[in-house]
Structure formats: structure tokens, C-alpha cells
């Protein structure tokens, strides 16, 4: 397995360009000084920790061209909405020597073990950039168990690593935890691509629990049943379709629109207005997400 | 956590019942520079936020029972830098901490050595505003050894020191703590001497140190006595805290003391200094406190920035009605 699955030099330069546009002269001078000492592990670790003290934590501004450079190398890698310290920490991780795999893995793992909240968020955000990506699967699963919102978000939202590397049970756990903690599901990278029957079954069981408790089920979660309708879960989707809540009905309609399952197609056809909205593109999952966030 | 998306605006409003003292301090902001939130419930966080506490410092201390290994120290430090900080943010409270080896556990030499070895990994972390709480408990030679070592650490890192003064032989212990700090070349303005009382305060102030008072029932200061201290010594370099922990203590000690001072005719500016500004100034010498962050404490939810979600609103927590037998 190759150490980096992308051109490290290009990503490092791409990040450096964004850093240059978002930081002060003194911050950049400080980073250059620290770079001279990066070969010493204690110095490397100390710099990682000290970054916000010297760079500040402003939200970064990224041009579409700068974002494209990163995306070309690491599809789905997304730094929009990051603070400067997080971006610089990601860049700093790329400066760690990879000539000895064991030392590299141990150094990164120890950063995780002694990280405060924002360091954890930076480390998990940088998962798509770490060398030997296969080695971070258990660490990612551990991060999903975190109770800290910013850490959960760093892993779950706009991060291409989990969809690409997690096995199915770990992926399903990530999605369920995102639902339990009210994360905006449409921001999970690879949500549709990693749909699976096991997750669909967990979700319908979960819906039954919620209904039994007199609680609502987020309409967004039905998206994960797309193309996975069976005789078993059709009853649940039919219930959602008949909901008085228009957003719930719209969610069911979107699931029905992408299936060959005849009873679902029949139900959808019974509402020509909704069918037309889907066909024209006026109704899609982003529209549902936007509606939910306005509640 | 589930079901937050079903909340209405009503669920996020304060309860209609408010204790009378809250009226007196309405609109005031408080900073509690010493409180062990890891021992407190979410009800406490909610009550503190309602009473105007906008930021706090959680000093590293012992847990009521001695630890047996360095790993539990590491986990404790991680916890006050991580999970506890996040818990506070859910209630819009900015959480800082001080990191150190407390005096009680300094008496286990093997453990103390191991803790000293990991301290440098933690004192440079974001939001660490000092080395603390350190100092004397029993005033043993081992306590002195690790107190001195940590003063050196603070000096090197340019961090303020938060000194715990002993319950027994307090006056001498406090004097000795200050003498040793001076001996190590720490400027008095970088040292916050905690748990003062009527007997210790004069010398602490005369020598140029910050004097912190802990309002803690039965064993430390009561707030009526605190009012008298402020009347006598004024507000310069004096601050109050709750030091609320796993014992019978009160996380609202700072706002309650402000209310009592107001009732006793103490000038509003003096109240502001003693319950907010002095502590901010003392610990901001770490370079880690920015008052503007107090207002942003709750807005750490990145997803909010992506989709403008009003549901998450910075992770604001739903209120539970404590006056009903129904739990939903």
C-alpha cells in the first residue's frame, strides 16, 4: 500500500496557497521557522498544538480554483467553512516524515490520544490526507463514538474518508450516530453511494421504535431506502406517504421516484403534482433538507 | 439527544419562574475562575448560564479519591480539554482550564514523576490559561518539590499560576507559597493566590499578588463575609469563585455574591471587577482569553455555518421543565 494515495506535493502546495491568502506575515514567518525544526518529533508535536496561538482562528476564504486543486487530488476533500488553525494543522500533518511507517503511525496516533477538542476536529478533518489511509479505519470508528459535536461533525460531514475506507458495519454505525445526533444527513459524503440493505433494515427498526415512543422520524432518513424497497419496508414507506406532514410525504415520494418496485410506482402516480415536482427538479433531497432546517 | 428537531421556540425559552436574586443582577456577566464542572450536572450548567455566567475556568485538581496511574491523569486532562469544554459550549458558556499536578497527589512520588513528564504535552493546549491548581495541602517536602517544578514550567511557558492554599496552617502556608513563587522569579501579577480569607488577604494584596476568594459553604468563605472584605479592601486584584466540585458547594456562588454585594450597596463597577473583569485580566495574561469568544461559545457547530440551520443553533440544549412529573 502506497503511503500517500495522491500527490502529496500538490496538496501541500494547494493548502499552502490557501494559507498564504488567509494568514498574516508574522504567522507565516512563524510557520517557516517551525518548519526548520519539524524533523524533531517533540518539536513537531508542540507546533501542532501551538498553531492557533500564532495563526489565529479566522474562517478561511477559499477561491473555487483553490478548491478545485484539492478536489483533483483528493475527490470530495472539502475545506470550506474551516478555520485557519484547522487548515494549517492539516497542512502541518503533511510535513511529517513518512520514511518509517511505524514511527509515522505512532506519531499520528499519539496526537489523537492527547488532543483537545479542536485538535481532535482538525485531526479527523485531515483523515483524507493521512498517509497509509487503510491504517486509520479503527481510529475513525473510535472517533464516531465521540460525544463531542465538533468531533462528530469533522468525521461525518463533508469528509470523504469514511465512505471510501470504512467497512459496512462501521459505515452504518456512522450514519446511525449522525441520525441520533441530528446531523444534516445530506452533508455526509457518499451517503447515497454507500446505501445498503443492512442499514435500511436498521433504519426501519429504528423508525418503529420512534413511532412506538410517540416520537417523529426525520424524513431525511428515508433517503437511505432509495432503491432498497422491499415488501417488508413498503408498509413503513406507505405510512410515511400517508403522513399529514407534507415534508414526510415528499420524502416518501422521492424514494418512490427511484424504484422499480411496482406498488411504490403506483402510489407515486396517484399524486401527479408531486410526480411533476420531482421530474422538474423542484423537489429533491436538498429541498427537504432546507425545509427541515427552517423548522 | 434524539428528537431535538421537534423542539419549538417555546422549548428554548427560559422558565417563567426565576429566583428573586436574579433580578438584582439582570444583564450582568460573570466569570467564575475556579469551578470543577466535571463533577456537576447539566442542571448546573443551565442555572449558571441563566444567572449570567459566560465563562469559567476548570482547574485540574484531585477527584476526591487518589488516582493510581498516570493514564487516569492523562484521561482527566483530556476530559477537561475536550468533553467538558464541549458540554459547557452546549449552554453557551466558554470553558477554559488550568493544568497541573495537585498538591495532594504530589505526595505519591512515583506517580508525580510520571505526571510531570506528561504535563508539557498539555500546558500549551488551546484554552489552557494557567498552571494550576498547585501549591500546598499538607506542606510536605514532596509537595514543595513538585510545586517548585511546576512554577518553573509556568515561567517557561509564560503562563499564570493558580495557587491552592491549604486548609490547615493556612496563613503560614499562604506566605510560604508566595515566598517560593518569588524565589523562582515569578512576578506577583502572574500569580493568583486562591482560597483567601480575612486572615490572609492583606499580605497577599500588599505583596502585589491577585487574591481569589472561594465562596463555599461551611469550610471556606461565606458571601456575607465577602461583602465585608470588598468594603474593607476595595476591588483591586480581588476576585471571587465558587470552586464548586463533588462536595456540598454552589456553582451559582459568583452571581449570588454579586447580588448580595449589590444589595449591600457596593458600587456596580466594583462588583464588575470582583466577579468578572479582574479574573479575565489575570488569566488573559496567558494570551488564551479573548472576551469576544464569550459570545461565540455556543456557536461552535460547523454544520450551522454550512446550512444556516436554526435547529442546531450552535448546539443549544433543550430545556426540561423541572416542575412536572412528566418526562418525555
Per-residue pLDDT, B2: 47
Q: Does B177 score more than 80 pLDDT?
A: yes
Residues of chain B contacting residue A62, judged by C-beta atoms under 8 Å apart: none
Per-residue pLDDT, B306: 35
Per-residue pLDDT band for B270 (boundaries 50, 70, 90) equals: very high
- Which of residues A100, A125, A140 is at a domain's end? A140
Q: Which residue does chain A place closest to B313, by CA atoms? A: A293
Query: Is residue A230 one of the residues assigned to a domain?
Result: yes
> What is the ipTM, given to two decimal places?
0.80
Are A181 and B1 an interchain contact pair (Cβ–Cβ within 8 Å)?
yes
The tens digit of pLDDT for each residue in A89-102 reads 999 999 999 999 99
Interface probe with A: pick from B302, B326, B327, most Cβ of A within 10 Å: B302
**Over pLDDT 90: what percentage of chain B?**
80
- Both A106 and A226 in a single domain? no
- Which of residues A105, A140, A175 is at a domain's end? A140
Query: Is residue A93 one of the residues assigned to a domain?
Result: yes
Per-residue pLDDT, B309: 34
- Both A291 and A203 in a single domain? yes
Per-residue pLDDT, A136: 98
Query: Is residue A33 one of the residues assigned to a domain?
Result: yes
- Both A28 and A135 in a single domain? yes
- Closest approach of chain A CAs to the CA of B214, in angstroms? 28
Higher pLDDT, residue B310 or B1: B1
Per-residue pLDDT band for B327 (boundaries 50, 70, 90) equals: confident
- Both A58 and A132 in a single domain? yes
Q: Does B303 score more than 80 pLDDT?
A: no
Per-residue pLDDT, B302: 33
Number of domains present in the structure of chain A? 2
- Both A30 and A117 in a single domain? yes
The tens digit of pLDDT for each residue in B202-248 reads 999 999 999 999 999 988 999 999 999 999 999 999 999 999 999 99
Residues of chain A contacting residue B315, judged by C-beta atoms under 8 Å apart: 149
Residues of chain A contacting residue B125, judged by C-beta atoms under 8 Å apart: 49, 116, 119
Residues of chain A contacting residue B124, judged by C-beta atoms under 8 Å apart: 46, 49-50, 53
Among B125, B287, B312, select the one facing A49 at the smallest CB separation.
B125
- Both A205 and A71 in a single domain? no
Among B5, B122, B307, select the one facing A295 at the smallest CB separation.
B5
**Over pLDDT 70: what percentage of chain B?**
88
The tens digit of pLDDT for each residue in A108-130 reads 999 999 899 999 999 999 999 99
Q: Inform me whether the C-beta atom of residue A270 falls under 8 Å from chain B C-beta atoms.
A: no
SS (H, E, C) chain B: CCCHHHCCHHHHCCCCCCCHHHHHCCCCCEEECCCCHHHCCHHHHHHHHHCCEEEEEEECCCCCCCCCCHHHHHHHHHHHHCHHHHHHHCCCCEEEEEECCCCHHHHCHHHHHHHHHHHHHHHCCCCEEEEEEEECCCCCHHHHHHHHHHHHHHHHHCCCEEEECCCCCHHHHHHHHHHHHHHCCCCHHHEEECCCCCCCHHHHHHCCCEEEEEECCCCCECHHHHHHHHHHHCCCCEEEECCCCCCCCCCCHHHHHHHHHHHCCCCHHHHHHHHHHHHHHHHHCCCCCCHHHHHHCCCCCHHHHHHCCCCCHHHCCCCCCCCCCCCC
Higher pLDDT, residue B34 or B6: B34
Query: Is residue A170 one of the residues assigned to a domain?
Result: no
Average pLDDT over residues B90-116: 96
Per-residue pLDDT band for B314 (boundaries 50, 70, 90) equals: very low
Query: Is residue A187 one of the residues assigned to a domain?
Result: no
The tens digit of pLDDT for each residue in B26-62 reads 999 999 999 999 999 999 999 999 999 999 999 999 9
Query: Is residue A72 one of the residues assigned to a domain?
Result: yes
Are B1 and A215 an interchain contact pair (Cβ–Cβ within 8 Å)?
no
Among A52, A216, A218, select the one facing B126 at the smallest CB separation.
A52
Per-residue pLDDT band for A175 (boundaries 50, 70, 90) equals: very high
Average pLDDT over residues B251-279: 97
**Residue numbers of A between 140 and 179 with CB closer than 8 Å to B:** 147-150, 153-154, 157-158
Residues of chain A contacting residue B312, judged by C-beta atoms under 8 Å apart: 182
Residues of chain A contacting residue B74, judged by C-beta atoms under 8 Å apart: 113-114
Per-residue pLDDT, A158: 96
- Which of residues A100, A117, A140 is at a domain's end? A140
Per-residue pLDDT, B101: 98
Residues of chain A contacting residue B288, judged by C-beta atoms under 8 Å apart: 53
Per-residue pLDDT, B296: 78
Q: Inform me whether the C-beta atom of residue B310 falls under 8 Å from chain A C-beta atoms.
A: yes
Q: Does A150 score more than 70 pLDDT?
A: yes
Query: Distance between the two ends of chain B, CA-based, in angstroms?
Result: 12
Q: Show the domains of chain B with their CATH numbers.
A: 26-310 (3.20.20.140)
Query: Is residue A175 one of the residues assigned to a domain?
Result: no
Query: Is residue A248 one of the residues assigned to a domain?
Result: yes
Q: Are A8 and A73 in contact (CB under 8 A)?
A: no
Q: What's the domain range around A92?
A: 1-140
Among B78, B118, B311, select the one facing A182 at the smallest CB separation.
B311
Q: Does B24 score more than 80 pLDDT?
A: yes
Are B305 and A50 an interchain contact pair (Cβ–Cβ within 8 Å)?
no
In angstroms, what CA-CA distances link A163 with A115, A176, A194, B99, B305? 24, 14, 7, 38, 23
Are B2 and A215 an interchain contact pair (Cβ–Cβ within 8 Å)?
yes
- Both A123 and A205 in a single domain? no
Amino acid at each position: 500500500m502506497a503511503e500517500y494515495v495522491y500527490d502529496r506535493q500538490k496538496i501541500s502546495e494547494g493548502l499552502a496557497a490557501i494559507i498564504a491568502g488567509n494568514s498574516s506575515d508574522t504567522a507565516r514567518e512563524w510557520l517557516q521557522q517551525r518548519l526548520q525544526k519539524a524533523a524533531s518529533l517533540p518539536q513537531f508535536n508542540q507546533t501542532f498544538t501551538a498553531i492557533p496561538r500564532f495563526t489565529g482562528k479566522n474562517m478561511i476564504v477559499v477561491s473555487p480554483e483553490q478548491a478545485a486543486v484539492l478536489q483533483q487530488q483528493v475527490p470530495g476533500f472539502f475545506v470550506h467553512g474551516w478555520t485557519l488553525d484547522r487548515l494549517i494543522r492539516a497542512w502541518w500533518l503533511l510535513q511529517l516524515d513518512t520514511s518509517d511507517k511505524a514511527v509515522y503511525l505512532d506519531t499520528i496516533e499519539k496526537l489523537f490520544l492527547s488532543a483537545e477538542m479542536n485538535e481532535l476536529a482538525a485531526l479527523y478533518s485531515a483523515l483524507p490526507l493521512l498517509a497509509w489511509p487503510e491504517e486509520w479505519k479503527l481510529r475513525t470508528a473510535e472517533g464516531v463514538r465521540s460525544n463531542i459535536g465538533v468531533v462528530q461533525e469533522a468525521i461525518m460531514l463533508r469528509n470523504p474518508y469514511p465512505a471510501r475506507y470504512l467497512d459496512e458495519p462501521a459505515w452504518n454505525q456512522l450514519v446511525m450516530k449522525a441520525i441520533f445526533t441530528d446531523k444534516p444527513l445530506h452533508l455526509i459524503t457518499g451517503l447515497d453511494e454507500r446505501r445498503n440493505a443492512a442499514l435500511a433494515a436498521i433504519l426501519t427498526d429504528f423508525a418503529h421504535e420512534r413511532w412506538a415512543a410517540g416520537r417523529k422520524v426525520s424524513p431525511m432518513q428515508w433517503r437511505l431506502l432509495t432503491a432498497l424497497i422491499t415488501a417488508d419496508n413498503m408498509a413503513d414507506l406507505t405510512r410515511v406517504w400517508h403522513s399529514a406532514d407534507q415534508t414526510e410525504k415528499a420524502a416518501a415520494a422521492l424514494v418512490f421516484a427511484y424504484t422499480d418496485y411496482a406498488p411504490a410506482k403506483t402510489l407515486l402516480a396517484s399524486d401527479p403534482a408531486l410526480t411533476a415536482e420531482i421530474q422538474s427538479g423542484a423537489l429533491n433531497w436538498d429541498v427537504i433538507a432546507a425545509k427541515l432546517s427552517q423548522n | 439527544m434524539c428528537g431535538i428537531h421537534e423542539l419549538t421556540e417555546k422549548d428554548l425559552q427560559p422558565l417563567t419562574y426565576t429566583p428573586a436574586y436574579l433580578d438584582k443582577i439582570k444583564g450582568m456577566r460573570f466569570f467564575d475562575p475556579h469551578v470543577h464542572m466535571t463533577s456537576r450536572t447539566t442542571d448546573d450548567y443551565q442555572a449558571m448560564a441563566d444567572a449570567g455566567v459566560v465563562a469559567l475556568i476548570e482547574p485540574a485538581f484531585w477527584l476526591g479519591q487518589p488516582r493510581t496511574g498516570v493514564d487516569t491523569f492523562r484521561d482527566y486532562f483530556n476530559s477537561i480539554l475536550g468533553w467538558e469544554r464541549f458540554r459547557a459550549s452546549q449552554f453557551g458558556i466558554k470553558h477554559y482550564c488550568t493544568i497541573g499536578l495537585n498538591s495532594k497527589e504530589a505526595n505519591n512520588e512515583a506517580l508525580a514523576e510520571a505526571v510531570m513528564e506528561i504535563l508539557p504535552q498539555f500546558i500549551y493546549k488551546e484554552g489552557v490559561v494557567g498552571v494550576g491548581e498547585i501549591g500546598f495541602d499538607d506542606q510536605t517536602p514532596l509537595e514543595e518539590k513538585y510545586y517548585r517544578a511546576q512554577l518553573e514550567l509556568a515561567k517557561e511557558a509564560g503562563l499564570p499560576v493558580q495557587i491552592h492554599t491549604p486548609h490547615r496552617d493556612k496563613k503560614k502556608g499562604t506566605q510560604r507559597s508566595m515566598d517560593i513563587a518569588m524565589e523562582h522569579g515569578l512576578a506577583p501579577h502572574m500569580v493568583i493566590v486562591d482560597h483567601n480569607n480575612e486572615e490572609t488577604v492583606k499580605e497577599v494584596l500588599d505583596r502585589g499578588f491577585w487574591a481569589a476568594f472561594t465562596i463555599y459553604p461551611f469550610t471556606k468563605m461565606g458571601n456575607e463575609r465577602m461583602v465585608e472584605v470588598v468594603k474593607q479592601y476595595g476591588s483591586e486584584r480581588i476576585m471571587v469563585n465558587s470552586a464548586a466540585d463533588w462536595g456540598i458547594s454552589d456553582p451559582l456562588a459568583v452571581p449570588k455574591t454579586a447580588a448580595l454585594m449589590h444589595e449591600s450597596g457596593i458600587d456596580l463597577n466594583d462588583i464588575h471587577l470582583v466577579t468578572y473583569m479582574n479574573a479575565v485580566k489575570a488569566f488573559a495574561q496567558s494570551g488564551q482569553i479573548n472576551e469576544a469568544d464569550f459570545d461565540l461559545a455556543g456557536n461552535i457547530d460547523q454544520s450551522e455555518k454550512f446550512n444556516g440551520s436554526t435547529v442546531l443553533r450552535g448546539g443549544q440544549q433543550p430545556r426540561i421543565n423541572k416542575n412536572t412529573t412528566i418526562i418525555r
